Structure 1
């Protein structure tokens, strides 16, 4: 494997530990290792017992012995990802002690680097969920680069998905991801450019890690089941199995030039949708018009009407456990915000969320005075498990 990208800095290494820890946290939630527990008449939500976790890791064949499990969990504690519920113990112990992931109790420090990591992860997951044709193999006469994309295509996609308001903002967002080693380019460069240059994601957020990956060189009972990462840059000799209608000639001293073969435009357009055609043609043209979808509400409702005594609204509490993609719902409006859409197969639908519900609070914070952009940012930068109070019309 040939990785021609730059070495990861310390923050990026910490982000890899963060990713491994978050994947472990999701597996523990799935297997009910993390749950609400009681001790001395007090309830500790979303926590786990040190000894039970070591048992689970050993029985799952992620570690070869109990000291290895303790060593891996100590790495997570050292990076402030896991902590003792009352912070009395600074080391992880194979004992009947309660521990918790800071993302589950909202105490993880969301510094600028972590926020950029989470945003880059969300963009990566959205691209793969859409199976975007933007990310694909490109090559020249001697080598192929897998799952790469052009800079101007990512900028246009961010505009299309309302991740940015204009092209300049989208380019600045890409530059911030570039500075934090979330995306890199093939040829050496110190900045992101909204041009026909080839970029790739430095971290494969879909790669499955074992807890032993936290400690370099640690032996594991079973091999890592994940596929080999396709995001790390790799070169392959062409053997006739690749058929490119367009390819990129990369020269370290010159700008990368887009070339096309003699295939007819009709054959290319027959396999492309309108979005992809627009994406190819927007390198120098204005971005597409963005619009706000029509509200699903039958009529506008004010905060005063929601809180009025005897009003026909029913309050519900929903606990939504986010997955690698997100929570599966969209909020719109302002004062109060409402649920505009719910993914039928997402975590929000599983928790009982419905369209037209009004959002009253998020993790105990009243949000009735916020607009949907502020509320969305509050959710995106908070813990993956969110507790929402919503009100729905009973009429």
Structure 2
């Protein structure tokens, strides 16, 4: 079958980001209404309905930990302005200014542009809500190439569903709709190998419309460079980028691993895919071992991890990668565990800890997978990583 071309993938990724911005903007708008920050305001003898004061919103973003400081808050709002979600009430300012100026969400004044991309996004959101809310939903856990994927559906079943529920008038129209959704980054083939076909190929929604977005995810997507290097998601981050030799923190802060950057990056990633029963790596000459010994005190099996009454709790953690990666090293298999965490990286900030076991990655169950397949899931997935982990109860 026809594979998914690189140009389609690139456009889908760009449109996926736009969709994420739309969702994040709408979630923020509703929260601001609930907080009474959006209200009618009077300025120069004129009343402007449903407005907010820029300076007050900047304070609110920092207070609610949506931004660490004012500069980031300003950049976040500028991104919403760039996507025509927010604008100055009189359109006198094309940039978001941290001042006593009035701004408004375009949805609140009816100026939100309903172009083709937005209409496709809204159609996809409507279909997602209908599918996930159905009693006998076609979105189920299914397996492909020994990997389980949550909320998947065969292409032919989605085509049947669209016709049975009056969403389309013919199978041809349904296929065209699904192809449009894929090209806009709303649905995708589970392994990103195929375009949409009326067949038993498995697809799922790339966007979880119900997930609560953090606004910093918007900047994470903007700042992320286009990378083809598969090492970056797992490499530990630099501590002293201005020096010639780079230092990385592993599990033990008092032990630094020093080597040229390329060697450390290759080592930390290659250590994920080494041989051996435990999945550990013997470095060839010229590479640096990154925590060659497991941090686990003993081997833990899936049966022990999932046993009723076992002393483990499950947590869902969202990690927004940066220009270097996520700042974690995963090792082992069935189950895999967190071997190392960069204390200054995105994973540590999100709450990932050493010795946690990886339960799922972006809604895909991974307890039966080794580090190679987990690394592939992360590297082929979105920049925002949603991980379910299990950790021992202290």
SS at match of 2:203: strand
SS at match of 1:29: helix
Aligned to 1:153: 157
Cα distance in structure 2, aligned partners of 1:164 and 1:230: 34
Q: Which one of the candidate residues 67, 89, 92 is aligned to 1:88?
A: 92
Asked whether the equivalents of residues 184 and 201 of structure 1 are also in contact (C-alpha less than 8 Å), the reply is: yes
Aligned to 1:234: 364
Deviation at 1:161, TM superposition (A): 2.4
> How far does the alpha carbon of each residue in 1:179-235 deviate from its partner, in whole angstroms, 9 at most, with x for none?
2221111355553222211101112211211122221249999859xxx99894635
Aligned CA distance change for structure 1 residues 190 and 100 (closer, same or farther; 3 Å): same
Cα distance in structure 2, aligned partners of 1:20 and 1:229: 26
Aligned CA distance change for structure 1 residues 230 and 107 (closer, same or farther; 3 Å): farther
Tell me, yes or no, if structure 1 residue 100 matches structure 2 residue 230. no
Aligned CA distance change for structure 1 residues 223 and 9 (closer, same or farther; 3 Å): closer
Bigger relative CO (Cα 8 Å, ≥ 6 apart): 1
Aligned to 2:16: 12
CA RMSD of aligned residues (A): 3.3
Asked whether the equivalents of residues 189 and 195 of structure 2 are also in contact (C-alpha less than 8 Å), the reply is: no
Q: Which one of the candidate residues 57, 64, 80 is aligned to 2:61?
A: 57
Tell me, yes or no, if structure 1 residue 38 matches structure 2 residue 71. no
Aligned CA distance change for structure 1 residues 30 and 132 (closer, same or farther; 3 Å): farther
Asked whether the equivalents of residues 359 and 367 of structure 2 are also in contact (C-alpha less than 8 Å), the reply is: no
Aligned to 1:113: 117
SS at match of 1:26: helix
Question: Counterparts of 1:156-235 in structure 2 under 5 Å?
Answer: 156-187=160-191, 189=193, 191-216=195-220, 217=322, 223=350, 232=362, 234=364
Q: Which runs of 5+ in 2 are unaligned?
A: 1-7, 221-321, 324-344, 352-357, 370-394
Cα distance in structure 2, aligned partners of 1:229 and 1:105: 44
Aligned CA distance change for structure 1 residues 125 and 229 (closer, same or farther; 3 Å): farther
Structure 1 moving runs of 4+ over 3 Å: 5-9, 187-191, 217-224, 228-235
Of residues 139-148 and 103-112 in structure 1, the stretch that sits farther from structure 2 once superposed is 139-148
Deviation at 1:46, TM superposition (A): 1.7
Question: Counterparts of 1:114-133 in structure 2 under 5 Å?
Answer: 114-130=118-134, 132-133=136-137
SS at match of 2:50: strand
Per the normalisation by structure 2, the TM-score is 0.53
Aligned CA distance change for structure 1 residues 231 and 194 (closer, same or farther; 3 Å): farther
> How far does the alpha carbon of each residue in 1:15-47 deviate from its partner, in whole angstroms, 9 at most, with x for none?
222222122112112222222222233221221
Cα distance in structure 2, aligned partners of 1:193 and 1:141: 18
> How far does the alpha carbon of each residue in 1:71-119 deviate from its partner, in whole angstroms, 9 at most, with x for none?
2111111222211000111111221111011122222222211110111
Per the normalisation by structure 1, the TM-score is 0.53
Cα distance in structure 2, aligned partners of 1:229 and 1:79: 35
Deviation at 1:127, TM superposition (A): 1.7
Aligned CA distance change for structure 1 residues 185 and 229 (closer, same or farther; 3 Å): farther
Aligned to 1:72: 76
Aligned CA distance change for structure 1 residues 229 and 237 (closer, same or farther; 3 Å): closer
Asked whether the equivalents of residues 190 and 203 of structure 2 are also in contact (C-alpha less than 8 Å), the reply is: yes
Cα distance in structure 2, aligned partners of 1:189 and 1:66: 42
SS at match of 1:215: helix
Aligned CA distance change for structure 1 residues 229 and 98 (closer, same or farther; 3 Å): farther
Of residues 53-62 and 115-124 in structure 1, the stretch that sits farther from structure 2 once superposed is 53-62
